[in-house]
Amino acid sequence: MRKLVLVASMALLAACSAPQQEQINFMPKAVLSNSDIVQDAAFTLTSKDMRSAQYVALVDSGRSNIEPIHSKQNVRISIENALLDQFKSQGFRSTVNSENSVEVEVQEALVSVKHSVMENQMDGKVVLQITAETPQGKLVKTYTGTAKRTGALSASNEEIEEVLNDVINLVLQEVSNDRELQNYMQERF
């Protein structure tokens, strides 16, 4: 019995020391408004992750080895929370049962990395679709952010993280500055 416990303990310790899959931080920053465009207009915010896979980066080292890297945070929830903060800073109020709704679809959030010993190339892309809907109709807008970056040596996880976060922040800035979306929500919510 002792040998069995010893073998089981060693197997458990070996499993714990196995390399963990690498992850990066996904931290979208809300673009906060200095002034309200509405006073307490209510809406319901929902989101969907339409990506076919949950990783946020694909690293191709050129040796028939493509490694996916996942986010430590839930991408859909992080984006939803950032947009909620943006809309709140403009004077909107989130509620669970409003006839006005905003739906966010995460269609793409990926950094493709090709690297060799001497250099790396990163291509980041984030695509969000936002649908603002009221009983009078709806507005559907797609926001796309892209970035290309090259560097010496292999790309580190910190560099991949930086590209991904820069691209999502560009998209959030675009949403924040979109007058058509603001006017639609302001007039109808």
Domain edges within the chain: 24-188
Does the structure show a pLDDT above 70 at 10? no
Inform me whether the pLDDT recorded for 49 exceeds 90.
Answer: yes
What CATH number should be reported for the domain whose range is 24-188?
3.40.50.10610
CA–CA distance, 40 with 95 (Å, rounded to integer): 11
Please report the pLDDT score of residue 6 as a whole number.
54
For range 83-95, the mean pLDDT: 92
Confidence of residue 12 (pLDDT cuts 50, 70, 90): low
Average the pLDDT over 110-132 and give the result: 91
Q: What is the pLDDT of residue 17?
A: 44
What the block records as the tokens of 66 is 């493509």
More confident residue, 9 or 108: 108
Measure the CA angle with vertex 40, ends 99 and 78; round to 5°.
Answer: 75
Q: Can you give the pLDDT at residue 83? A: 95
**Which of these ranges, 7-16, 65-74, 177-186, has the smallest mean pLDDT?**
7-16
Report the pLDDT value the prediction gives residue 18, as an integer from 0 to 100. Answer: 41
* Nearest by Cα to 26 from 181, 171, 140: 171
Q: What mean pLDDT is predicted for residues 31-57?
A: 89
* pLDDT at residue number 19: 46
Which residue bears the tokens 């292999």? 154
- Rounded mean pLDDT of 74-92? 94
Mean pLDDT of 9-25: 60
Lookup: tokens for 125: 């892309």
Give Cα separations from 78 to 85, 89, 158 (angstroms): 11, 17, 19
Q: Check pLDDT > 70 for residue 3.
A: no
Q: What does the mean pLDDT of the chain come to?
A: 87
